[in-house]
Amino acid sequence: MGRGLTTGRRSVQDARALRKTFAGGLALDGVDLRIGAGEIHALLGENGSGKSTLIKIVSGYHRPDPGSVVDLGGECLHFGDPASSARLGARFVHQDLGLVETSSILDNLAVVVGFPTRFGTIRRGAARELTRSALRRVELELDPDVLISALSPAQKTGVAVARALLPVDGREARLLVLDEPTARLPEQEVARLLSLVRAVAANGVGVLYVTHRLDEVFDVAETASVLRDGRKVFEGPVASLSRESLLGHLFGSAIEKVNRHDASVSGDVVLDVRSVGSEYLANVSFTVRQGEVVGVAGITGSGRDALCATLFGARPRDTGEVRVGGHVLRAGRPSAAMERGVAFVPAERKIQGAFLGLTARENISIGDLPRFWRLPFLRRKAETAAVAGWFERFDIRPGFGTDRLVSTFSGGNQQKIVFGKWFQRGPAVFLLDEPTQGVDVGAKGELHRCLADAAVNGAAVLMSSSDTDELTTACSRVIVLRNGAVVADLSGDAITPREIARAALGIGLDTGLDIGFGDPTHQPFAHESRTSAQ
Amino acid sequence: MKRFPRSLGFEKYSGVYLWAAFIAVFSVLSPNLFASMVTVHSVAAGKAVSAILALAIVVPLVCGVYDLSVGANINFTTIVVVKAVAGGLSVPLAIVLGLAVGAGIGVVNGFIVVKLKVNSFITTLGTASIIAALQVIVTDNRQPLPPSLPAWRSLTQTKVFGFQIIVVYLLLIAVVLWWALTHTPFGRYLYAIGGSPEAAKLSGVNVDMYTWLSLIVSGALCGLAGVFYGSIAGPSLSFGASLLLPAFAAVFLGSTQITPGRFNVWGSVLAIYVLATGVKGLQLLTDVQWLDPMFSGVALVAAVAIANGRQRSGEERRRRRRSAERIEPASPVGPTG
């Protein structure tokens, strides 16, 4: 193991001086990344560090700035051309595997390479043999006719990998990029996936392994690269790393932005969560007091993205109790939660949050229509006045657009409209899931201010976010989930990206903290990957 | 391409312009037959049942649910009510019976859609067939005789300013539905459910109840339309099926009018009469029999194509505007804060 091993090998990917500028700023700043044949190379970095931009350049989706070069197995990649990337042997398996659940393994593979046919009829036997040999490359012994929906999560990922490794235009796969392949896998399935990854590498394919889980890095990777703020801050053999030093690379120096919130809030407990359990949560208990803005952190698959919806009743809750102001909420009943003054802003704004085909006015008043209803009519004037009030308070633009369809507003303004719907009801508890996802920087600050105001006025705010920067700036307390359970409850000065990551990744507190790393930076591009995707 | 000025409301009221054009052209081409009050009265009354049926399907469509059983429903209630009236039932009770039978079918449809979670398209396709079978059981495939009771015929055929009174009923139903859909929380909830059932549920709307209710309203309106049909035209074993597609055509065409992009009451009524005027005029001129289904079919497909096209061009306009905004301020925001 070690550097000598990888440099001695033929390279399958050699990226040099990758730079990419988005409207919001610099996403990648001169990154080199070389991967050898048969090497498993872990790529680490917080959200917004430039990982996804890098992958999207290699896959031919993004065009980097002039001067960047990506050499795939000796040939230069045509930027912005996904076909060129595939031809040169680069293959990608994303978190969303892209398999058709209701089709067989064989059919899923054949979609890519085509069926072997004779006189236009599919040669079933030959197709099965092809499928079996493709599966064997990833050490899977499965019947090609089994439906994808019948497979375990790790097997599904395996099939996706097998499919990715199929030759394109007669060119074999040389580089496999796995983007957080274990994020949605249950713990016991992870080991099976890792052995599959080793098998792929043993066949001489270079693997770029993107993950948030440090255990896997030490388990499977030979080499690791760490990105921070668009720069590569570390590259080297995993054997030379400790968890603590890896954390240092991920987050930089121990000097952090000071949390501006007063941790000594002493209002009444409004939200009381006791031993809540579900498919995604294990015995979660915590309380939120009046005036508190509590953040929820955790990596994908930690239960973070399920917590708010479960408390609100939008997802099933199997055990435990949720109390709001002393009243027990019935599980699975959003309307019951609303009656107790709970507001819920879901992450999927376009499907669950807003009614894109209705006007802003209708969106805001929908949660509080009885207020405007005096037989025989909804009082249009009162309604418009109330909505105009929220437009002004949240600075929703265009300000005269109360009767425009929500789909015509920008993402940030759409989210403000969703906020307006809930603020209109004057809730006692706010549950927010990724409240500023897909929102520009200015609107993000404004939304945070709205929540802080609500807290000052006596509401309890619980907000889950994958954006650590958001949690550190907007929250007075942060609880961290891992494998469905609360593993940390941070407040005051303890709310730093580093502490959050330490808890979310499961790194013990016994190791020393006081190692200095690099210069004090945080993440000015925390939203790079999201805003660019819009 | 030059856009029509919005003040003329071409997007919203193109149907009205088309209607005016039809009337003008046919009045010139057929001054004696077409341009007469007799024609006006006969078109108005002749399409009233179709219009009520169209309004019946507007309600569930607003919340994203199809009711394909309206044709079978209206046919069945007509037969049941006519038989009951012939057997001595009074006219007011006949109306109640029609409403009850129609609403009952709506209750069953709603149960299957809401409780058994079967797609509404499939549900009502199935119940339509079941209702047709029930009709055979009830009638033994023999057409019942029209009731001789004078009050039965005068229920719809009393003259009001030269129009048969069924036209007034249609207007009343339209006003009530317009009010319910646009000026009450009920209507707002239906439109919200149609916009996104998930978002509606998360906004506290009782999605199941309102969906169910919309199917009951639709069924009850069919029942009422069935009573009217029995009174104005007499019983028939097979008229229902031929009313289904024109009703859908009118509703979809209507959704491009008045409040474009939404299923709405006045657009649907307008569409029924624009199409009827065109068909009537051409029929008087040419005497061919295939105009009605031809118009309905073309209208249905064209309406959906127009609606989709508008949506796409709207999205494209917004995309261009955003892209222009992005380019203009030349905004590489530096890595501050």
Q: Quote the CA–CA distance of A177 and A108 in Å, as a whole number.
A: 19
Q: With residue A145 as reference, give the H or E element that holds it.
A: none
* Alpha-helical runs (H) found in A139-266: 153-164, 187-202, 214-220, 243-251
Higher per-residue pLDDT: A508 or A170: A170
Q: Which pLDDT value is given to residue B240?
A: 92
Inspect the interface and report whether the beta carbons of A314 and B202 lie closer than 8 Å: yes
Give the position of tokens 């040389």: A174
pLDDT at B283 over 60: yes
Inspect the interface and report whether the beta carbons of A25 and B334 lie closer than 8 Å: yes
Inspect the interface and report whether the beta carbons of B331 and A23 lie closer than 8 Å: yes
Q: Give the model's confidence band at A532: pLDDT under 50 very low, under 70 low, under 90 confident, else very high.
A: very low
User: Which chain B residue has its CA at the smallest distance from A367's CA?
Assistant: B203
Torsion angle of the four alpha carbons A146, A149, A151, A156, in this order, in degrees rounded to the nearest 10: 110
Interface residues of chain B, partner chain A, Cβ below 8 Å: 179, 183-185, 188-189, 191-192, 194-196, 198-206, 261, 314-315, 318, 322, 326, 331-337
Q: Give the model's confidence band at A533: pLDDT under 50 very low, under 70 low, under 90 confident, else very high.
A: very low
Instruction: Determine contact, residues A353/A345, Cβ cutoff 8 Å.
Output: yes
Q: Which pLDDT value is given to residue A531?
A: 38
Region A93-114 average pLDDT: 85
Q: Give the model's confidence band at A242: pLDDT under 50 very low, under 70 low, under 90 confident, else very high.
A: confident
Region B256-269 average pLDDT: 93
Region A247-270 average pLDDT: 64
Angstroms from B231 CA to nearest CA on chain A: 32
Higher per-residue pLDDT: A412 or A186: A412
Which of B184, B326, B337 is opposite residue A23, by nearest beta carbon?
Answer: B326
Q: Which pLDDT value is given to residue A24?
A: 61
Name residues 277-306 of chain A within 8 A of B (Cβ): none
Region A368-386 average pLDDT: 91
Region A141-147 average pLDDT: 90
Q: Which pLDDT value is given to residue A509?
A: 53
Angstroms from A514 CA to nearest CA on chain B: 25
Q: Which pLDDT value is given to residue B214?
A: 97
User: Which chain B residue has its CA at the smallest distance from A419's CA?
Assistant: B203
Which of B314, B315, B333 is opposite residue A24, by nearest beta carbon?
Answer: B333
Instruction: Determine contact, residues A134/A74, Cβ cutoff 8 Å.
Output: no
Condensed to tens digits (0 to 9), the pLDDT of residues B13-35 reads: 889 999 999 999 999 998 888 88
CA nearest to B96, candidates B18, B155, B25, B158: B155
Q: Give the model's confidence band at A422: pLDDT under 50 very low, under 70 low, under 90 confident, else very high.
A: very high
Which of B192, B198, B322 is opposite residue A352, by nearest beta carbon?
Answer: B198
A357 shares contact with chain B (CB less than 8 Å): yes
Within 13 A of A31's CA, how many CA atoms are on the CB side? 34
Region A108-118 average pLDDT: 78
Region A239-255 average pLDDT: 75
Q: Give the model's confidence band at A248: pLDDT under 50 very low, under 70 low, under 90 confident, else very high.
A: confident
Q: Give the model's confidence band at A348: pLDDT under 50 very low, under 70 low, under 90 confident, else very high.
A: confident
User: Which chain A residue has its CA at the smallest distance from B319's CA?
Assistant: A408
Angstroms from B308 CA to nearest CA on chain A: 13
Q: Provide, as residue numbers in chain A, all residues whose Cβ is less than 8 Å from the Cβ of B194.
A: 357
Condensed to tens digits (0 to 9), the pLDDT of residues B191-212 reads: 999 999 999 999 999 999 999 9
What are the strands, taking DSSP E only, across A377-426? 377-378
Region A220-228 average pLDDT: 91
Inspect the interface and report whether the beta carbons of B191 and A21 lie closer than 8 Å: no
Q: Give the model's confidence band at A494: pLDDT under 50 very low, under 70 low, under 90 confident, else very high.
A: confident
Q: What is the 3-state secondary structure (H, E, C) of A487-501?
A: EEEEEHHHCCHHHHH
Comparing A82-96, A246-260, A479-493, the range with the smallest average pLDDT is A246-260
A314 shares contact with chain B (CB less than 8 Å): yes
Question: For residue A229, how far is the Cα from the chain centroid?
Answer: 17
Q: Provide, as residue numbers in chain B, all residues whose Cβ is less than 8 Å from the Cβ of A370.
A: 185
A336 shares contact with chain B (CB less than 8 Å): no
Inspect the interface and report whether the beta carbons of B185 and A373 lie closer than 8 Å: yes
Q: What is the 3-state secondary structure (H, E, C) of B105-145?
A: HHHHHHHHHHHCCCCHHHHHHHHHHHHHHHHHHHHCCCCCC
Condensed to tens digits (0 to 9), the pLDDT of residues B295-322 reads: 889 989 998 898 888 888 888 887 787 7
Q: Which pLDDT value is given to residue B223?
A: 97
Which of A353, A378, A421 is opposite residue B185, by nearest beta carbon?
Answer: A378
pLDDT at A516 over 80: no
User: Which chain B residue has its CA at the smallest distance from A347's CA?
Assistant: B199
User: Which chain A residue has its CA at the smallest distance from B197's CA?
Assistant: A352
* Alpha-helical runs (H) found in A1-152: 3-8, 51-58, 82-87, 105-113, 124-137
CA nearest to B230, candidates B104, B106, B102, B80: B80
Q: Express as a percent the part of chain A with pLDDT over 90.
A: 34
pLDDT at B2 over 80: no
Q: Provide, as residue numbers in chain B, all residues whose Cβ is less than 8 Å from the Cβ of A398.
A: none
Q: Express as a percent the part of chain B with pLDDT over 70.
A: 93
Name residues 363-422 of chain A within 8 A of B (Cβ): 365-367, 369-370, 373, 376-378, 405, 407-408, 410, 421
Question: For residue B335, how far is the Cα from the chain centroid?
Answer: 57
Report the b/e string of B253-271 with b at 16+ CB within 10 A: bbbbbbebebbbbbbbbbb
Q: Which pLDDT value is given to residue A8?
A: 61
Decide: residue B205, CB within 10 A, 0-12 exposed, 13-18 middle, 19+ buried.
buried
Q: Provide, as residue numbers in chain B, all residues whose Cβ is less than 8 Å from the Cβ of A373.
A: 184-185
Q: Provide, as residue numbers in chain A, all residues whose Cβ is less than 8 Å from the Cβ of B200.
A: 355, 366
pLDDT at B331 over 80: no
Comparing A30-34, A111-115, B167-171, the range with the smallest average pLDDT is A111-115
Q: Which pLDDT value is given to residue B3?
A: 45
Q: Give the model's confidence band at A513: pLDDT under 50 very low, under 70 low, under 90 confident, else very high.
A: very low
Comparing B201-210, B244-253, B328-337, the range with the smallest average pLDDT is B328-337
Number of inter-chain CB pairs under 8 A, A vs B: 87
Q: Quote the CA–CA distance of B87 and B152 in Å, as a whole number.
A: 13
Q: Quote the CA–CA distance of A289 and A277 in Å, as a whole number.
A: 22
Which of B203, B315, B335 is opposite residue A367, by nearest beta carbon?
Answer: B203
Inspect the interface and report whether the beta carbons of B199 and A338 lie closer than 8 Å: no
**Could you tell me the two tokens for B92?**
């007011």
User: Which chain B residue has its CA at the smallest distance from A524's CA?
Assistant: B335
Give the position of tokens 């009771």: B149
Region B279-289 average pLDDT: 88
Q: Strand A284-289 vs strand A269-277: parallel, antiparallel, or unpaired?
A: antiparallel
Decide: residue A81, CB within 10 A, 0-12 exposed, 13-18 middle, 19+ buried.
middle
Q: Which pLDDT value is given to residue B236?
A: 92
A423 shares contact with chain B (CB less than 8 Å): no
Q: What is the DSSP string of A230-284?
A: TEEEEEEEGGG--HHHHHHHHH--S--PPP-S-S-----EEEEEEEEE-SS-SSE
Q: Which pLDDT value is given to residue A342?
A: 95
Q: Which pLDDT value is given to residue A177?
A: 93
Region A302-315 average pLDDT: 93
CA nearest to A113, candidates A44, A169, A63: A169
Q: With residue B160 as reference, give the H or E element that holds it.
A: strand B159-160
Condensed to tens digits (0 to 9), the pLDDT of residues B84-140 reads: 999 989 999 999 999 999 999 999 999 999 999 999 999 999 999 999 999 999 999
Q: Provide, as residue numbers in chain A, all residues whose Cβ is less than 8 Å from the Cβ of B175.
A: none
Inspect the interface and report whether the beta carbons of A353 and B334 lie closer than 8 Å: no
Comparing A33-42, A200-209, A240-249, the range with the smallest average pLDDT is A240-249
Which of A352, A369, A421 is opposite residue B188, by nearest beta carbon?
Answer: A369
Average pLDDT in chain A = 84
Instruction: Determine contact, residues A37/A206, Cβ cutoff 8 Å.
Output: yes
Phi, psi of B45 (to 5 degrees): -75, -35
Report the b/e string of A449-477 with b at 16+ CB within 10 A: ebbbebbeeebbbbbbbbbbbbbbbbbbb
Angstroms from A522 CA to nearest CA on chain B: 9
**Could you tell me the two tokens for A278?**
């579900």
Interface test with A, best of B11, B183, B201, B202 (most A CBs within 10 A): B202
Q: Give the model's confidence band at B8: pLDDT under 50 very low, under 70 low, under 90 confident, else very high.
A: low
CA nearest to B260, candidates B295, B302, B303: B303
Region A473-499 average pLDDT: 90
Comparing A431-445, B40-54, B174-188, the range with the smallest average pLDDT is A431-445
Inspect the interface and report whether the beta carbons of A366 and B332 lie closer than 8 Å: no
Which of A25, A338, A376 is opposite residue B333, by nearest beta carbon?
Answer: A25
Q: With residue B230 as reference, give the H or E element that holds it.
A: helix B207-232
A312 shares contact with chain B (CB less than 8 Å): yes
Q: Quote the CA–CA distance of A288 and A475 in Å, as a whole number.
A: 12
Average pLDDT in chain B = 90
Q: What is the DSSP string of B200-229?
A: HHHTT--HHHHHHHHHHHHHHHHHHHHHHH
Angstroms from A509 CA to nearest CA on chain B: 30
Which of B191, B204, B332 is opposite residue A25, by nearest beta carbon?
Answer: B332
Inspect the interface and report whether the beta carbons of B206 and A335 lie closer than 8 Å: yes
Give the position of tokens 């090609």: A144
Inspect the interface and report whether the beta carbons of B332 and A352 lie closer than 8 Å: no
